[in-house]
Structure 1
């Protein structure tokens, strides 16, 4: 009987009734244990991913032994928001004493969360971890670094890193990955990623691994520093046996060389990679798109299909971008219409944007206008801004004025008169009037901006 029950637990039950029957059998046969109950909780979350799994909570509430193990399983399996609420509930109103796994799973939930309160809640968990001495645990501290980097607070992550007495390769990777993945201050953070990598090389206790190299290559790509890229590639060749066999390092090298301007070397690396996944193909397609090689990108997509690798949304964004850069209007539209019929996924806002850009830059402004109007659902202002840019490019003042007024109206509806509304759409409309030398209309738009307190953000450039 025990063998049968254990084999049943290895397979996911398909209904809640089956789950309850297994639970009943575990109780009747005396095979109920913390590990089997934890497996039941995991199965229950698999059944009810989008609902609150109340039965899983009942399993925890009706057990008097090994409650911590079951609670940790609940926190690990729950949605990020529910995980944080569970942590808060049991840390203040329960006799259960938390362990390092509890804090690891709670920090992980805050890292995955898209809630605006995730950072504040994570800081509170961090304070608890310091108070109870869990920050001395290597995994807890490493997960804390990961949490802060995911929430855009790299300075806090760095502080936790500097306070650690012992660091593993995962700790170094968390910080380097955090630097290279920040959305702001790209140059500064990418440079800090390379400095951290250099410090890691000087460490006698841990050495970089494949994941480290992938994060460093991402930082080099953002800097566009070809010399540094050559150095990192040389390090990979010397320290990692046959780097072309590692699909992730190979993909990182392709991306790095493409963004550093060496598409020929990227192609050579692509040919050397033994096993290519969708990310590898997409990196090469993206590189060709960056370099305006639309026909080569389309040929690569066809080769990808022959190798039975299904492209993803990013692959098609790159393909359509390549078509836009090289003026392949018919080819781009053909591929766009084949996305759903032949490749099985519906277009997203990025793909619609690429088509608008494709039509607009080719001078088909009316077709682009009609295309936006025909898109189901609410129209994204980004699409209209793309068309407005094309109107200025082709000096179509009539269409530009119409699109500019649509954008201003959209912003007024979204912001409801808020003085913090963005100014770029007013500036766009003003530039259209300036193009036609309609200076009175320019003054009228600028005057409206002053009345609403809208300010133009200063542009800046960085040269490495």
Structure 2
């Protein structure tokens, strides 16, 4: 670029603004300028602008390697200045392939994959011949944008230019074809001319697994000429993503060497499959081998801790982050907010949230959702308002959290107003989940006719979740006729969902219609449906203990059952009367009382009273809704034993203290 073209540059980049000191360096060599750009201008935009001025002043911008390096520096995502990088690129006269490759790669680094594809067409039209470095980022751009036609054209150009043998091109092409679901084309690239390195083999294994062809992946893995840690990791990740956790763990145990990706793959696999305790066991094993976990593993483990209520282990991770001066980014911070909220420590969740300097929409959503779970509707709505004051636009998940908060607190008018504002104020079309929240809100409040009217007015057919919310309201308010009608529809929609049968049975049982209860049970037997067993978990001293109804597997079962007998002796002295309507069998009252006594959360509470110091809070996670009897019994236990008992059920939190519950018996 000659000095006559600099008049179009921004004022601060014109040569006349360069200091006398920098202009005296007009004889700087190409090597010196390249060294300056590559070493001094990667972190300082001010330094880069000065180097840009020097480049223009000395005439070195006409050198393609200098100009390309300058574009590369401006394209650094750290500067968030890619638009200006493209402007600088526009001034490069007849850019060679080096410059084109830099700007194409810069498009990917700055999340502009479509721009990379369009620039290639300009490059070809300018008669600039691509080389082996041009196509890997283009294949990746097609993968991201799912640009199948363009990907096929790029492959044709690779063949045309005689670049098919290059390993980097082959591995990128294999990944692209696999992302399109075209494993045959991917395999042809692997088996085609030229040697396929281990990266190509790994890409093909990963491609088979992503397309769900586990057997083909296993066969290819077994016949690979060489394997590295990446090969093993691809198989472990693939098995885990396909829900084959046993196979993933078997391979994991066979590895001679493991890296962070190996540990992360097996932990993530367990978490995605709902095996949270197993994920924590692997993390503990990782600690015993003195492997320092990084943030992406810690975020996954925090999710596992949140789901099983492992507060102590979650707090250890928080302390580890502080101890190692790890940056609290939005992902890690949000994981901690979610952990503390789901473990019943809203105070600690709020403390983390307030101290976070980087907050994304999902961070606010986690805090709003946490407040909603705890029945703190006014605080959730207040945070929603604060979010808007800070000019952060809410998304669909934000409204799910706020509407859930209204549902758990009976704030009907507020919930209806928020639903109406989604489209009219925020331009967000309500989805099925939002309507489900409002149906739940109306149903809990006993407004069943209004709930039915809302379902009828929905712009889509109601799904099982929406109808399930209405049916749950029928159970609460004893509306047998409507509950029966909705229940029959649900059994057709979800014939394998045991919860729907249980809910319908519960409605019949509360109404004393035992013949109908038996019909539902027979239907379940005919269809091979098994009910989901109630289970509760309690974290004591960093160890998570699990209980099921009438569980006898715990090492301290004798002490637990003896403690449970003592608890009920005291409860009966205080006037406790079991709510036997919760039992779905037509049996004697004594048998009903016995069945209620050994619910999983009562066993967990007994263990908590045995294993923790007087006055210590007891925290329990339950996989099902708390039943009426457990709710009333736990209120009384909290008063008799002077304990705070925090129970997280499938829908919300219950804080029991001094004989009262935070839900105010509205759940």
Q: Considering only aligned residues, what root-mean-square deviation do their CA atoms show, in Å?
A: 3.1
1:283 CA displacement: 1.5
Aligned pair partner of 1:125 in 197, 212, 217: 217
Answering whether residue 313 of structure 2 is matched by residue 221 of structure 1, we say no
Q: SS at the partner of 2:394?
A: coil
Partner of 1:75: 174
Partner of 2:436: 353
Contact 1:148/1:154 (8 A) holds in 2: yes
Tell me the distance in 1 between the aligned counterparts of 2:116 and 2:292: 47
1:223 CA displacement: 1.8
Q: Deviations over 1:367-411 (max 9, x none)?
A: 111212222233312211221111111111232233223334545
Partner of 1:195: 281
Tell me the distance in 2 between the aligned counterparts of 1:13 and 1:382: 38
Alignment of 1:267-282 (within 5 A): 267-282=350-365
Task: Tell me which moved more, 8-17 or 397-406.
Answer: 8-17
Tell me the distance in 2 between the aligned counterparts of 1:445 and 1:43: 54
Tell me the distance in 1 between the aligned counterparts of 2:137 and 2:483: 60
Tell me the distance in 2 between the aligned counterparts of 1:155 and 1:252: 27
Partner of 1:59: 157
Cα 1:42–1:15 change in 2 (3 A) is closer
Tell me the distance in 1 between the aligned counterparts of 2:163 and 2:323: 53
Partner of 2:472: 389
Answering whether residue 316 of structure 2 is matched by residue 231 of structure 1, we say yes
Q: Deviations over 1:99-136 (max 9, x none)?
A: 222234334445655xxxx0xx234224313322443x
Contact 1:103/1:125 (8 A) holds in 2: no
Partner of 1:186: none
Contact 2:142/2:150 (8 A) holds in 1: no
Q: SS at the partner of 1:98?
A: coil
Tell me the distance in 2 between the aligned counterparts of 1:107 and 1:302: 49
Q: Deviations over 1:249-301 (max 9, x none)?
A: 22222111111111111111111112211222111112111111011011111
Contact 1:329/1:359 (8 A) holds in 2: yes
Alignment of 1:69-108 (within 5 A): 69-78=168-177, 80-91=179-190, 94-108=192-206
Tell me the distance in 2 between the aligned counterparts of 1:13 and 1:232: 40
Task: Tell me which moved more, 379-388 or 261-270.
Answer: 379-388
Q: Which runs of 5+ in 2 are unaligned?
A: 1-92, 108-112, 539-667
Contact 1:317/1:350 (8 A) holds in 2: yes
Larger radius of gyration, structure 1 or 2? 2
Structure 1 or 2: more helix by fraction: 1
Contact 2:142/2:176 (8 A) holds in 1: no
Partner of 1:418: none
Tell me the distance in 2 between the aligned counterparts of 1:46 and 1:231: 37
Partner of 1:288: 371
Q: SS at the partner of 2:446?
A: coil
Contact 1:397/1:435 (8 A) holds in 2: no
Answering whether residue 390 of structure 2 is matched by residue 307 of structure 1, we say yes
Alignment coverage as a number of residue pairs: 436
Partner of 1:22: 123
Partner of 1:212: 297
Cα 1:385–1:89 change in 2 (3 A) is same
Cα 1:345–1:218 change in 2 (3 A) is same
Q: Which runs of 5+ in 1 are unaligned?
A: 184-188, 416-420
Q: TM-score, normalised by structure 1?
A: 0.82
Q: Deviations over 1:5-45 (max 9, x none)?
A: 6349536677989755533544xx5x331122444545556
Cα 1:82–1:112 change in 2 (3 A) is closer
Q: TM-score, normalised by structure 2?
A: 0.59
Contact 1:423/1:455 (8 A) holds in 2: yes
1:361 CA displacement: 0.7
Tell me the distance in 2 between the aligned counterparts of 1:23 and 1:164: 46
1:434 CA displacement: 4.0
Partner of 1:168: 259
